Structure 1
Amino acid sequence: MIKLVNITKYYPSNIGKQFIFKELNFEIPSGHNIGILGSNGAGKSTLFRLLAGSEYPNRGNILTDLNLSWPVALATGIHPQMTGRENTRFIGKINGVEDLDEYENRVKEFAELGQKYDLPVKNYSSGMKPRLAFACSIAIDFDVYLIDEVTSVGDARFRRKARAALFERSENANVIMVSHEMDEIRQFCDSTIVLDKGALTFYNDLETGIEAYQAL
């Protein structure tokens, strides 16, 4: 269960508050792999950050009894001054991983950073940091994986690897995904939530949801 209760979210600007959501009430259905669809600026990334707890609403609450990942494919939670190994162990600790050595080995192998795994993340290339973040997340048993543009992670070979790992995870957990690639939405999702003008609409039928999004 994930419930958004009276959620108001805005950002200040020179022309006043820019509202993303106003007193939004919505329950995200359980047991679905959901694609989040909406026009640019509709609030998809903001919604993800709110769900992940990396950003807070101005008013209202998000209630859940599930263990949600941070937005996979974004480098959220990766500290630039720490090495890849140090980041891995820190992330493992705060997410309750019992065997940190095993977790560390799984992340190192998946991220394919080689010796740079022991360098500070600030020295990583633009593609290496999200690879580390993806590996840290996919190696933890979450109830729901929040996926933000998984096709943007690394080179083509690594993206194929990431999609395969995510597909394997989706067999025993659920995913909530943002992607502009409808083929990717169709691969991982069975339903959609369409964001439009601060409102969320759930479509149990995937193709109906995609059609509603494309008609915006």
Structure 2
Amino acid sequence: MIHLQNLCKTYTLNGKHKVVARDITATFPSGVSVALLGRNGAGKSSLLRMISGAMLPSSGKILSTGTISWPVGFSGSFSTQLTGEQNCRFVARVYGVDTEELLHFVEDFAELGNHFRLPIRTYSSGMRSRLAFGLSMAVPFDTYLVDEVSAVGDAAFKAKSNHVFNERMSRAGAIVVSHSMSLLREICHAGAVLEQGRLTFYQDIEAAIAAHLSNMKLNKSSLI
């Protein structure tokens, strides 16, 4: 369970204020995959970052009864001077998981070969993405945060990524940001719509999508 209590977040840039969270109180239930919907710039990624702990709210609290992932596939926190293996060892220690099991999973999943033991600064963007996605899947969380992540690589690698992701989702909850309504319908059961700093939770994904499309004033067919 993740509970947002009177959550507020305001950005100030060049003297102008932008509110992305306006006194939000809402609960994301345990073990449920929830689509987070909203127009571009509504603050969806900011809300995920606050839930993950990477960003502090202006005021309010975020309470949880389980473990929460960093945004799945995010590679921006890697130390580029360290190898892929060394970055994975660091994450294993931080999250208290078996280091050797994590290393074995990520090395096998990411298919980096000898590059796994080379500095990340030598990686292509695709290699970084495969390492980041594999590391995200290697640590068991109660809730996964997913922000517009799609599997990279060839068809076989994408199929493997989707299989692992779906397996994780079968025994954990998630908060998923995506512009693909078909994807959200496939993996989410409930939805939450962020509009002008207000968050409305819907038990049914179709009700959430309908509310979002109404806000966007677009035909459903244009987003499928």
Which residue is equivalent to 1:147? 146
The AA in structure 2 aligned to 1:135 is G
Aligned-residue offset at 1:24: 2.0
- Specify the SS of the correspondent of 1:20: strand
Following TM superposition, by how much is the alpha carbon of 1:76 offset from its aligned partner in structure 2, in angstroms? 4.4
* Cα deviation digits, residues 99-150 of structure 1 (max 9, x gap): 2112101101111111111121122111221221111110111111111122
Give CA-to-partner distance per residue, 1:180-205, whole Å, 9 cap, x none. Answer: 11121112111111111111111111
The residue number in structure 2 matching 1:57 is 57
Q: Give the drift of 1:168.
A: 0.6
Tell me the equivalent position of 2:95: 95
Q: 1:82 matched to which residue of 2?
A: 82
For residues 148 and 156 of structure 1, do their structure 2 counterparts lie closer, same or farther at Cα, with a shift above 3 Å needed? farther
Counterpart-to-counterpart distance in 1, 2:12 and 2:118: 37
Letter of the 1:20 partner, please give it: V
Give the fraction of aligned pairs with identical amino acids, expressed as a percent.
41
Q: Which residue of 1 aligns with 2:221?
A: none
- Distance change (3 Å), C-alpha of 1:156 and 1:209: farther
Q: How does 1:111-122 map to 2 (within 5 A)?
A: 111-122=110-121
Give the secondary structure class of the aligned counterpart of 2:16: coil
Q: Which residue of 1 aligns with 2:129?
A: 130
CA contact (8 A) 1:145 1:175 kept: yes
Structure 2: where are the runs of 5+ without partners? 216-224
- The runs of at least 4 consecutive aligned structure 1 residues that moved more than 6 Å come to none
Amino acid at match of 1:196: E
- Note the C-alpha offset of 1:30: 2.6
Contact 1:33 1:176 in 2 (8 A): yes
In structure 2, the partner of 1:73 is 73
Q: Structure 1 CA distance, aligned partners of 2:188 and 2:66? A: 19
Deviation per residue, 1:64-112 (Å, 9 max, x gap):
1110110002214322221100010101110110x21121011011111
**Post-superposition offset of 1:22:** 2.5
Match of 1:190 in 2: 189
SS of residue in 2 equivalent to 1:164? helix
After TM superposition, the structure 1 stretch with the greater mean CA deviation from structure 2, 206-215 or 44-53, is 206-215
What is the RMSD of the two structures over their aligned residues, measured on CA atoms? 1.5
Q: CA deviation at 1:212?
A: 1.2
Q: Which runs of 5+ in 1 are unaligned?
A: none
DSSP-derived class of the 1:160 partner: helix
Amino acid at match of 1:69: S
> Whole-Å Cα distance in 2 between the matches of residues 127 and 121 of structure 1?
12
**In structure 2, what is the Cα distance between the partners aligned to 1:173 and 1:76?**
24
